[in-house]
A and B are shown apart, each in its own frame.
Chain A
Amino acid sequence: MKRFQYVALLTAAFGVFSLQLQEKPVYAASALQTEHAPGSQPTDKLGAEAYANHCAICHGDQRQGNLPAFPPLIGIKRQMTDEQITTLVHTGRGRMPGFPTLPDPELTAILHFLGTTPGVASAAQAAGGSAAKSQTSGLAQAGGALFRQNCAFCHGRDAMGGETGPDLTRSKLVHADVNGDKISEVVREGRPQKGMPAFNLSSSELQSIVAFIHGQVASANSMQGKRRGVDVADLQTGNVEAGKAYFNGPGGCAKCHSATGDLAGIASRYQGLQLEERMLDPRDVKSGVIVTLPSGKQLKGIVAYHDEFTLGMRDGDGVYHSWPVNRIKYTIDSPVDAHVKQFSQYTDADIHNLMAYLQTLR
């Protein structure tokens, strides 16, 4: 709640700031009124009527939208300037029709109306921000539906982990996220290396998903017992000495790694499941490559792309080169291969012991 008020303040401040950048006074006037409750201005009635006549059929009486087809307009003024909204209303976009002949006074009133809080009397807002609460939970509700459609298969319906995807209520990134500043980037760009696709969601859709996830963090924190996921405490069943012996002996770890060299302090950098996953498959480690061209010239670099037909390489200066594989000779040095070979060799005890040993390297 506190956070929301802070954001509201911030956006209001931003509204004032953007007012100074506005050139057309008609928009400036409405920007000034951002976040005011309805009932306080004569334009309110006109705005509500104009909204009801032109917008409500798709975006809903309470601006709640009808996802995925029609985005909610709650909080739209935090994502778009009045100028952008005006352009959008005039020209339309996607399945949204344009309203090029909408009279200016009506448009101004709509812009003002969009800055108000839906369905709540100003007195309620003054009485302690319940308006903000209902707006947030409306968003989270819309986000919940979107989450179940797009995210639930991997992250679980309640965002607490499911097939292949981690528990988001325990995610450091989610905890560090403020109003979607971190989550949005991950959703939009995906994490291809970890198998998470990018999602092309609108800002309002993203905002609602973010609201849902934060809501789930709160409800997960209030849950006792039945938490899914892996705690550091779960991974303490191994034997340090046996792990050390495996490291230096049959595990073959010491062939490439050293407890006092590259792995010194590893347990301070990674803990728990993250450490175990890196131990078993350090997936972000790059492969080196030496390419011999038909001329005999040799190039050295990092493998940037490699399929059956093409080799892409980034050289020491970061420049990308690529060749059809049948035109060159090349040798790839992939240190991860040793980890892959080990999968069929480990017993579960080997893994637990190795974990116990690595956790002593602080």
Chain B
Amino acid sequence: MKLLKEALVLAAGALLTLGASPHSLRAQNLDSADLIKPPADSWPLYHGDYSGKRHSPLTQITPRNVSNLSLAWAFQTDQTASIKASPLLVDGVLYFTVPDNIWAVDARSGHMLWHFHHPTTQGDHIGQRGVAMYKGWLYFTSPDGHLISLNAKDGSVRWNKIIADVNKGYWTTMAPLVVANHVIIGVSGDFDNLTGYLRALDPDTGETQWQWNSTPPAGTPNTTTGGMTWMTGTYDPKLNLVYWGTGNPTPVLNGSTRPGDNLYTCSIVAINPDNGKLAWGFSVSPHDTHDWDAVETPMLVDGTFHGQPRKMLMQASRNGYFFVLDRTNGKSLLTVPYGPTNWTKGIDKDGHPIPNPDKEPAPDGRLIAPDEGGLTNYRAPSFDPKNGLFIVDAHPSYSIYFAKPADGNYGWAGADYGLWGKGVIEAIDYQTGKIRWSHEVGRGGSGAGVLTTESGVTFTGDAYGNFLALDTSDGKTLWHAGTGASIQSSPISYELDGRQYVLTGSGGVLFAWALPPASTHSPQKVARTP
């Protein structure tokens, strides 16, 4: 009954806001300039900024004082779903999600401002990765393929648009990416032979502006379907290109009906956000038969590569290879494995791995490294410019893949079984691909992403639910805290009232860590403490 009342209040709120002018939203007016240069007291995008580096400029927490880190607050969602979202922080308010739910929480105290609950019965509830925000409005994808725009002040719904057909087998989990006057969304759905796509919608009206399809329409002979776009991409404002990873082809384990490289599945693509036109595409796993979506963060780094200044794009991909591309043209600079892989015959002259046909799934099984979850997955990596390190939560692993004619050529079309895996935080030298240091995080692997800070601290987690602070220069543990559940999200950091917070989700709880208030008020004193 209470729920009904709440729904009525929400509906009434939605009606009222329909008539309100956008100028009344100044208090929470996140504009394009803030998105291009996020202030230190914000985390306004899925990756914190457009580059996907997840490198915080904050320096209050250092390798020397991080051992004093303590709990600032914890927020209980009271849900069984794990938090897989990356929270947004705008104007002192955090917004984060699990499927069908959004919370707005005071970033200083952890108390709840509002909770949006939108139960859906259709679509895969595998995870929800967070909201996007623009000018006081939130954008949220639901498991049944809707994009919902809400008022960030109170969670009231402004509009609700269907962006994917759940009845065909699509679902949505991703945090949209706002670029200028575009809300860009991607879709999930590889249990059916469906075309993946990116779509841009008008932030105010939700009208479709353009759509880019990863693959030809389903049913086109000798072509692939798939190429889902289920992770948030990155953006280079100067080149005005959005970079996105695409998922595996379908049928998933049986490649016989889809000869060739299967463009643009398992690829990194560069797209003009104003018209949806493809600038270039790079195939990360040509003719994939192992479910290795290439949707991991296409990270944008400006720096020198072998002595030459470069605009680079880096990805530690699910297929076990670390890629460095020139993001102006999509040409390869480096392709190198960052853990055990056994499915290629080498790398071609353009930097693409050459799949070994003998390692395609077979009736009597093929031993494959890495496993289907891949050498890494949606958990975010981080880039530390000072040390030139790309730091990723890796998952060395082995599995067996089967497929036989009786499995057909629709959807999964085979079976695979993970055998063994472990978690290793790896610091990759992006110039060579050599692993500078590695830090084991346990059997089975960790679901935690990585955050580096300008002061030289790397935050992540292990397979046992310990939140970890490592020294970025050598990977040694500086501090840890048991969180009591598996960590499935990537840490973020922000500064409010002169105090630096680090946030991490574990199970259904969001933890905020900070130095004790006394030490943050007089940083000099901390520096003198032995």
Hey, which bits of chain A sit against chain B, CB under 8 A?
57, 66-69, 95, 97, 145-146, 148-150, 152-153, 156-157, 161-164, 166-167, 195, 199-200, 225-230, 234-238, 273, 276-277, 280-281, 283, 307-309, 339-340, 343-344, 346, 348, 351-352
Contacts and interface: CB of A to CB of B under 8 A. Distances in A.
B35 interface: no
Interface string B412-447: 111111111000000000000000000011101000
B20 interface: no
Contacts of A157: 169, 191
Contact of B119 (A68, A161, A166): A68
A164 B420 contact: no
B3 to A, nearest CB: 5
A226 B404 contact: no
B412 A161 contact: yes
B6 to A, nearest CB: 10
A231 B400 CA distance: 14
17 contacts: A145-B121, A145-B122, A157-B191, A162-B412, A164-B372, A167-B415, A195-B444, A226-B407, A228-B412, A228-B414, A235-B365, A273-B417, A307-B464, A308-B440, A343-B420, A344-B369, A352-B365
A283 B413 CA distance: 27
Contacts of A236: 364
A316 to B, nearest CB: 24
A228 B480 contact: no
Contact of A163 (B369, B372, B402): B372
Contact of A307 (B2, B119, B291, B466): B466
A127 B366 CA distance: 54
B interface, size bucket: 35 or more
A160 B372 CA distance: 17
Given A149-B121, A307-B466, A234 B404 contact: yes
A307 B442 contact: yes
Contacts of A280: 367, 398, 400, 419-420
Nearest to B121: A145
Contacts of A234: 363-365, 402, 404
Contact of A161 (B291, B340, B415): B415
A164 B418 contact: yes
Nearest to A96: B1
Given A195-B418, A228-B407, A348-B358, A68 B364 contact: no
A164 B418 CA distance: 7
Contacts of B411: 156
A282 to B, nearest CB: 10
Contact of B462 (A195, A308, A348, A352): A308
Given A280-B400, A348-B366, A352-B364, A308 B480 contact: yes
Contact of A149 (B143, B342, B400, B406): B143
Nearest to B1: A97
Nearest to B368: A348
Contacts of B442: 307-308
Contacts of A95: 2-3
A277 B419 contact: yes
A89 to B, nearest CB: 13
Contacts of A66: 119, 121
A57 B362 CA distance: 53
B393 interface: no
Interface in B354-407: 358, 362-367, 369, 372-373, 398, 400, 402, 404, 406-407
Which of A146, A195, A281, A348 has the most chain B CB atoms closer than 10 A to its own CB? A348
Given A163-B412, A228-B415, A277-B417, 9 more contacts: A67-B121, A145-B121, A161-B412, A226-B408, A237-B363, A307-B466, A308-B480, A343-B369, A351-B367
Given A163-B291, A348-B365, A351-B367, A308 B477 contact: yes
B71 interface: no
A71 to B, nearest CB: 12
